[in-house]
Amino acid sequence: MHKTLFCFGFGYTAKALAVRLADKDWRIAGTTRSRDKAEAMRASGITPVLLQGDIIDASALEDATAIIISTPPSEAGCPALLSAQSAITEKRHSLKWIGYLSTNGVYGDHGGAWVDEESALNGKSARACRRIEAEDAWRRFCENHELPLTIFRLPGIYGPGRSALDAVRAGKAKRINKQGQVFNRMHVDDIAAGLAASLRTPMDYSVYNFADDEPSPPQDVVAYACALLNVEPPPLAAIENAGLSEMALSFYTDNKRVSNQRMKNALGIALNYPTYREGLSAILKEEAACP
């Protein structure tokens, strides 16, 4: 059966998913506004769709059987939905799967308690509110047109070229101490594996949390990266003395532990990198093998 995945936004996560699907008889297409990136995508076997206006024609979706949306919402809403409503509606009979990549930031602050997919959406920041609104907009649109939507709420994403190892090497890593603060994170390859599983698995639910097994203090992750690199960790700093930007500070207003149990049970996947320790160690090993 011919299968085509259309990616609204071809960034870090979409690229990892494309690599995973490359040998599974999937054709991959993705949007970009950069001609240089379009050429790079074409060279790696991805069909680029160069965006030059605000509306996407239905012909761009061609024979798409699945759509993934990773573009962040603006104040106006989700750019993919705003630009492609008509195109998706026209192609709706061939679409078997639509995945919207949201964030576990929609849960906001739960005082360090565990949250699952049924927990209250306490997100108060502008970024979290835009995500909540985008989720609702996609849900309404898909319900109105009988389209198969699944929402994936992602944590902090890391992987090769984008991890605490890179921050330490660049001299940008900080060990910030806020009492009781923890974050979930997830290796990009585990995210891609979960998304690939959802593409081949009938969906039992419309929302899934993606997260690792061990929500951890961020300063511990930096310390572990430093240990792997055999360098001294930066000094521990209280959050009020860390000189963080307003954006960075906003992440520390939310404290929660995100359960990944539904993801594991419904999608039948086991994490290759259940904690940051396995993830960072694997990245360093890969770097050593392919410098």
One-letter identity of residue 74 = S
pLDDT in tens, 258-280: 999 999 999 998 999 999 999 99
Please state, as a whole number, how many other Cβ atoms lie within 10 Å of the Cβ of residue 204. 10
Element (H, E) at 165: helix 164-169
Q: How much is the pLDDT for 147?
A: 95
Four-CA torsion 237, 173, 212, 123, nearest 10 degrees: 60
**Phi and psi of 280, rounded to 5°?**
-65, -40
Q: How much is the pLDDT for 71?
A: 95
User: Which domains can be identified in the chain, with CATH numbers?
Assistant: 3-158+184-213+257-272 (3.40.50.720)
3-class DSSP assignment, residue 65: coil
- Neighbour-count burial of 233, counting CB atoms closer than 10 A to its CB (0-12 exposed, 13-18 middle, 19+ buried): middle
3-class DSSP assignment, residue 240: helix
- Neighbour-count burial of 153, counting CB atoms closer than 10 A to its CB (0-12 exposed, 13-18 middle, 19+ buried): buried
Please state, as a whole number, how many other Cβ atoms lie within 10 Å of the Cβ of residue 243. 9
**Can you tell me the distance from the alpha carbon of 22 to that of 290, in angstroms, rounded to the nearest whole number?**
21
* Closest among 149, 150, 157, 107 to 132, alpha carbons compared: 107
Please state, as a whole number, how many other Cβ atoms lie within 10 Å of the Cβ of residue 109. 14
134 neighbors 196 (Cβ within 8 angstroms): no
Q: How much is the pLDDT for 1?
A: 57
Q: How much is the pLDDT for 244?
A: 83
> In the chain, which residues have pLDDT < 50?
none
167 neighbors 225 (Cβ within 8 angstroms): yes
**Can you tell me the distance from the alpha carbon of 135 to that of 47, in angstroms, rounded to the nearest whole number?**
27
